[in-house]
Structure 1
Amino acid sequence: MSGRNTKPVALTIAGSDCSGGAGLQADLKVWAALDVHGASVVTCLTAQNPGYFSCLEPSTSRFVEDQLGSVLGSLKVKSIKTGMLYSRLIIEAVSKHLVRLRGRQLVVDPVMISSTGAPLMKPSAMKALVKSLLPLAKLITPNLEEASTLAKKPVRDPEDMREAARIIFAKFGCAVLVKGGHLKTSEAIDLFYDGKKELLLSSPRIKRVSPPGTGCAYSSAITAYLAKGEPLESAVVLAKQYITKSFENVYKAGKFTFLD
């Protein structure tokens, strides 16, 4: 092996899902499929599967910082994604490192609740997220409930998504992708807004399946395309195509369905 072959590097800072459906496992799976080298910083360990959330064990902020130092000090990271951060101390530790890396492209998936309804962010962490991390982002990718929390207004339909995206952009000065997977519509609709352009992304809704980790996979696909050099809007469009294809090719593992 000559060692001349190279791959772009992306970093996920997120929680571990032991069942492999969501969290950093979903991120690394997407990056492998898109030919991006994936590095990871573990913020929390969780005991869960797609049907049940048992418990979680957060990393210490010191351990998170040590992981960040190990990765950022040795790998040429092109893009970074954050997922489940859980606590104020973890968010502050992550922000302290990322504020020095403004040249790197940061996608923040503001994970607050698991697909089974378990809280994945302490109430005290929200202030740190808003103050320290979101202003560093190139893109924020909330689902409907997260967009409602950030915009401080209900988000129930595409018009609400449009208003929420503008409120979030005005607050943090970065692009927003409101993921509308939970809308009760015949199509899966997402809304991208970067302060200048609005883009409505839609695809046929596949009603028979509801695999875990779709939001994780969507934001990680965007992060992968950014690492490969795509402009932000193009990365979002390509990621939408990727996640749509993944839905079309779900598979069973035991009694649960997972994205391909």
Structure 2
Amino acid sequence: MSTPPATSADSARTGFLSRAFDRAAWPPRPVRLLSAAVMAVFAVALWHQGGVWRAAAALVMVDALAGLLPWRMPRTLRTGVAYWAENAVALAVPISFIACAAGSGADWLTQGAAWWWYGVALVVAAALLLAGGMDFRLLFSGDLAFLMGPSTPLQARTRAATGTLAPFGEEALYRSPAVTAAGPFGVVVSLLGAAAFIARHHVGDSKWRMAPRVLATELLAALSLLALVALSGSVYPALLAHLLNNAPSVLLELQRSQKDSHD
């Protein structure tokens, strides 16, 4: 019996799967299993709160399962849709929660903070940038983009877009429980949110992500942004600090996306 010829749709699907995933990456390494487990615990805590938080719990589990997929590493080996697919999932999950929260009329979405908390946010952002250790002289001169090496415009712009958009959803999904859950349980949920944020977005298979300074900086960011939300009673000072902390990396990726950086 002859095998029917492959259609263009079959070829495209097979091409995407081969570019996006690597069978050798399955089963997941222990660090990814640990990441998913931390997120699962956070999801259970969110589910316990009821209401719109059950939608949040489901979204967190989707994100956790996406992190267990055998993505091809390093990411620079992927092209086209295969590259930005993982980033799209990472963005869609928290932003979907914002939509759910807005639809349910969540009070924390419109709850601001005293003006001086935004000054505190500037100080927090400055401290995080210093802790990160980026050389701003090299960044602003464009030399850092050159030293980082070539990156395709698609990959660099995808990272820049993710760095710009992600803070909105991440503050909503991972840190808003600090202003909605009361009592000791609220503290537990908030700390689990900080742990889940680090586990999902900053723990991976690369040596760079597991470097002590990187992990220490991410832990400092998670706790300081959580403290901003809890003490100010609003997610917006933390959102400002988060955006400012990401800004140099976004600028770096935009520089790397320019044609001149590859010549």
> Which structure has greater helix proportion?
2
TM-score category by the smaller chain?
A: under 0.3
Bigger relative CO (Cα 8 Å, ≥ 6 apart): 2
Indicate the structure (1 or 2) with the bigger Cα radius of gyration. Answer: 2
> Which structure has greater strand proportion?
1
TM-score (normalised: structure 1): 0.23
TM-score (normalised: structure 2): 0.23
